[in-house]
């Protein structure tokens, strides 16, 4: 009898950036693991431990000077202001682990159709600096690593965080083998938004119906035309109506439908999907955890509905 594909969850305790009372609850990764185990969504053997990204992999995307200063702790005051995070060795290690995790999850997605990194999505990181809680652009590192290996040719980034994916857009500007889409609130961070291939600028308070229609139209058209081997899904939880740093009006149910659209479209056109979590700052952190957990559940449901299995 055919066996359903395993649904792997890439995770490390080192993903926690040691931010304590910061508005970015990086301890959410640990809460997600606890939730998955408590709900019997995943067993211990479904969690895969990543290795940190190598310096060579980081420098496929980032300037050597930025990588060296980040690792050596020689950031300037301006660097830290842009990053908006307190510097620590644990913080740096967390970002480098996340890059390794997204790379591993991308490799597993090529085998299993969808793989979920319980972390990552740091889309505000530019080649030469960090911004907005993001020091290393893990999605870009994963795409560049797999391209260099010849594992993929074309990749598409669908960024559904509340905030424009400015670092990702900048890194891949002019690259004909990477197509970027950012669906975000226009009147929100960042102030400067380098153009993606497609930017969907949403007004304040946009809710489920309009959001999902905008996503479905632009994304499905792009996937059908571009035919990527790999889709990197930046599945931010912050379009949620109760998010502290958001300004859109999506419900928890609407966000899960967003996830289903991303996965169903990818499978329809034969693309693998690597999932990263990006932002989520709900007043109740349990809402953020629920939204992120629902993304994994939607992925598993879509795989099951589509009948993906090992022969």
User: What is the pLDDT at residue 307?
Assistant: 76
User: What is the pLDDT at residue 4?
Assistant: 55
User: What is the pLDDT at residue 308?
Assistant: 60
- Tell whether 16 is covered by a domain: no
User: Number of helices and strands (H, E) in the chain?
Assistant: 10, 10
User: What is the pLDDT at residue 5?
Assistant: 62
Please give the Cα distance from 171 to 62 (Å, whole number).
9
121 phi and psi, to 5 degrees? 85, 30
- Tell whether 12 is covered by a domain: no
Length of the chain: 311
- Tell whether 142 is covered by a domain: yes
- Tell whether 97 is covered by a domain: yes
- Tell whether 6 is covered by a domain: no
Please say whether the beta carbons of 259 and 235 come within 8 A: yes
- State the CATH number of the domain containing residue 152: 3.40.800.20
User: What is the pLDDT at residue 18?
Assistant: 87
- Tell whether 108 is covered by a domain: yes
3-state helix, strand, coil in the chain (%, to 5): 45, 15, 40
User: What is the pLDDT at residue 6?
Assistant: 72
What's the pTM value of the predicted model, to 2 decimals?
0.96
Q: Which tokens sit at 71?
A: 């690792």
Residues lower than pLDDT 70 in the chain: 1-5, 308-311
- Tell whether 15 is covered by a domain: no
Domain that holds residue 188: 21-310
58 phi and psi, to 5 degrees? -60, -40
- Structurally, how many domains does the chain consist of? 1
- Tell whether 10 is covered by a domain: no
């Amino acid at each position: 009898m055919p066996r359903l594909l395993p649904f792997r969850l890439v995770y490390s305790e080192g993903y926690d950036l040691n931010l304590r009372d910061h508005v970015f609850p990086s301890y959410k990764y640990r809460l997600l693991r606890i939730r998955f185990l408590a709900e019997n969504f995943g067993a211990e053997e479904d969690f895969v431990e990543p290795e940190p990204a190598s310096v060579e992999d980081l420098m496929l995307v980032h300037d050597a000077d930025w990588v060296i200063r980040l690792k050596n702790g020689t950031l300037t005051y301006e660097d830290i202001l842009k990053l908006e995070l307190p510097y620590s060795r644990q913080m740096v290690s967390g970002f480098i682990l996340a890059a390794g995790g997204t790379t591993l999850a991308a490799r597993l997605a090529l085998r299993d159709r969808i793989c979920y990194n319980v972390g990552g999505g740091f889309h505000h990181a530019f080649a030469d600096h960090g911004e907005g809680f993001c020091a290393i652009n893990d999605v870009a590192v994963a795409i560049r690593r797999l391209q260099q290996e010849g594992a993929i040719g074309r990749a598409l980034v669908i960024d559904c965080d509340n905030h424009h994916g400015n670092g990702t857009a900048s890194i891949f500007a002019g690259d004909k083998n990477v197509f970027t889409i950012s669906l975000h609130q226009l009147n929100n961070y960042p102030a400067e938004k380098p153009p993606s291939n497609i930017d969907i600028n949403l007004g304040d308070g946009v809710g489920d119906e309009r959001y999902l229609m905008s996503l479905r139209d632009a994304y499905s058209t792009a996937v059908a035309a571009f035919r990527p081997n790999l889709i990197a899904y930046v599945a931010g939880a912050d379009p949620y109506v109760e998010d502290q740093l958001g300004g859109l009006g999506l419900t928890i149910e609407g966000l899960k439908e967003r996830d289903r659209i991303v996965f169903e479209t990818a499978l329809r056109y034969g693309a693998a999907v690597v999932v990263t979590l990006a932002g989520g700052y709900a007043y109740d952190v349990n809402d953020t955890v629920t939204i992120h957990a629902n993304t994994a559940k939607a992925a598993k449901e879509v795989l099951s509905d589509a009948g993906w299995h090992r022969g």
